[in-house]
Amino acid sequence: MKKITVKEMEGTKRIVSKSAVVPGHAPAKRIAVLSLISADCDTVPAMNAKARRFHHMGAQVLEELGFQTIRPNGPTRTAVEAVRHFRSMEDAGAEAIVLYIADWSYSTTAAIGALRNNRLPLILWTNAQPDCAGLIGAAIAKGGLNEVGLDAPLVYGNFDDAGTRRDLKTYCNGAAAAARLRGMRYGLGGTRSLEMLTSVVDPNVWLTRFGVDVDGFDELDVAERAKSVPKRDILRHKKWLKQTFGRVAVADIIVEMNIRLYLALREVIAEKKFDFISVKCLPVMPRIMTSFCLAHALLGDAVDADGPKERMICGCESDSNGALTMQMMKNVDDQAIGFADVRHLDPDGNVLRISNCGSQATELARCPKDIHWVRHGLQELPWKHGGMCPQCVSKPGVVTLARLARIQGRYVMMISGGEALDRPRAALKETYWGFSPHTFIRLNAPTNVFVNQLRSNHIHLMYGDWLRDLVHLCRVLEIEPIIPENLK
């Protein structure tokens, strides 16, 4: 059981569970717990005691699921009290609110409390105990929320039920991941790349829809800053690269140029306080300096030559919708997220081969020693010095693929599952793109169904089965989820 501290604010006791800060990882998601019960129940001592007991037990379940919890010291009985409690939870940094309903509760308590505040995502939860009227209270609360235009899934089950816990974790995770976008700053490096209509966005739409502020920077400014990176920093990172990875098989000038760009891009990110970025590389950067392939890889990792750090989403080719997809995935689970082209889909084996034009986070490999930094093989554009790519085959395991797109301005997200296959490095020789990192995925969806839901050359990958979490994130953000496995 985590240690508990009690804080005072505006006369309302607030209990906040403590959560360990892990270097290189985003903070734990903060879930508020309000237990709703009618004031009439206070006249029955046994019901009052049960409501208080369930209030703390519900929070303990969420803490055991890995969330940091925030809650009032006791149940919420009236609409006036709900407004005060909602505001207290929001001020404490809650990213989603679980409304636990142990017994009968007036629907106005949930509806007015939610309407008078900033509308954090809501999850309703009640027990399946025969001696409680929780389902009655939860049903009227859900209906009341819907009456005033608010949506909330209803979890039905007891504290020790595995399915209940699984649903709670999914809904809380997806809801908090959606809410975490609000207040983020996105750095758009450069203009539209390679005439990709699917990559460009309206900054005001993002600010309105997702709460994300879009600001720009120029890739040529990064190149200019790179000239001033201290030599000692370059040597430290070069030494670390050679000690950490399996091979560095490119000329020193290429390594140095890539390190310069990486450190200069880090400086821009820190200066402008970006939470995630994309940057334009092709067709200009190879001609004047080199590509951003090393920067793209190391930003996505949780460590570099300077030690542990939080992973930073970096989309290639100034692909804003790609970067936002990746940030949503990272908000769902803090791991390295893949950015790649859908290079080939074998119709016989239903195996999708994905690979970016030259890079991905190195954590997607089986281990650091499996990474061979090799010369970039792109031949369509002239190179001043050449580039370097983290050649590897991604590790095997269950994966989730996702991609945001727009249909006449309406956002949709394609979400699909599969299994990354265990392929040897020799398999890269058969790809016609062997210098770049690859992932071979046996899809869950039929080939023809999958390809008909592709709306971009880019797709994004995370390890694990996160389909339901992403679907709920879409529900909160009013994005239509499209799951090829469910289509005919």
**123 and 257 fall within a common domain:** no
Whether the bond between 283 and the residue before it is cis, its omega within 30 degrees of 0, is yes
**193 and 132 fall within a common domain:** no
Tokens of 476: 């909160």
Q: How many CB atoms lie within 10 A of CB 79?
A: 18
**288 and 274 fall within a common domain:** yes
Element (H, E) at 223: helix 219-226
- Domain end residue (candidates: 120, 148, 179): 179
Beta strands in 379-453 (DSSP E): 388-391, 397-407, 410-420, 439-443
Torsion sign, CA atoms 198, 202, 203, 205: negative
Three-class SS of residue 458? Answer: strand
pLDDT at 239: 98
Mean pLDDT of 124-143: 93
Mean pLDDT of 390-418: 98
Q: Residue 122's closest CA among 111, 137, 135? A: 111
Domain interval for residue 153 = 4-179
Give the pLDDT confidence of 177-231 residue by residue, as tens digits.
999 999 999 999 998 988 889 899 999 999 999 999 999 999 999 999 999 999 9
pLDDT at 444: 98
Answer whether 126's CB lies under 8 Å from 101's CB: yes
CA distance 125 to 137: 10
Helices (H), 125-194: 134-147, 162-179
Give the pLDDT confidence of 258-298 residue by residue, as tens digits.
999 999 999 999 999 999 999 999 889 999 999 999 999 99
Question: What is the value of pTM for the model shown?
Answer: 0.95
**411 and 439 fall within a common domain:** yes
Rounded to a whole number of angstroms, the distance between the first and last alpha carbons of the chain is 47
**288 and 271 fall within a common domain:** yes
Q: Facing residues of 397 across strands?
A: 420
**170 and 192 fall within a common domain:** no
Provide the number of structural domains found in the chain. Answer: 2
Residue 9 has pLDDT above 50, yes or no: no
**109 and 252 fall within a common domain:** no
Tokens of 319: 């692909």
* 37: phi then psi, degrees, rounded to nearest 5: -155, 150
Beta strands in 42-143 (DSSP E): 68-72, 96-101, 122-126
Residue 453 has pLDDT above 90, yes or no: yes
Mean pLDDT of 87-104: 93
Which stretch of 19-33, 316-330, 424-438 has the lowest confidence by average pLDDT?
19-33
Question: Is residue 13 very low, low, confident or very high in pLDDT (cuts 50, 70, 90)?
Answer: low
Integer CA distances (angstroms), 370 to 236, 300, 305, 387, 461, in order:
21, 17, 18, 19, 19
- Domain end residue (candidates: 153, 179, 205): 179
**236 and 334 fall within a common domain:** yes
pLDDT at 6: 37
Give the pLDDT confidence of 47-87 residue by residue, as tens digits.
888 889 999 999 999 999 999 999 999 999 899 999 999 99
CA distance 49 to 332: 36
Torsion sign, CA atoms 365, 368, 371, 375: positive
Answer whether 330's CB lies under 8 Å from 461's CB: no
Element (H, E) at 6: strand 4-9
CATH number for the domain spanning 54: value is 3.40.50.1070
**167 and 310 fall within a common domain:** no
**268 and 159 fall within a common domain:** no
CATH number for the domain spanning 403: value is 3.20.14.10
**373 and 265 fall within a common domain:** yes
Element (H, E) at 50: helix 45-64
- Domain end residue (candidates: 179, 197, 216): 179
Share of the chain above pLDDT 70, in %: 96
**132 and 189 fall within a common domain:** no
Q: Residue 72's closest CA among 117, 157, 135, 9? A: 9
Tokens of 107: 């629907």
The pLDDT mean for the chain works out to 93
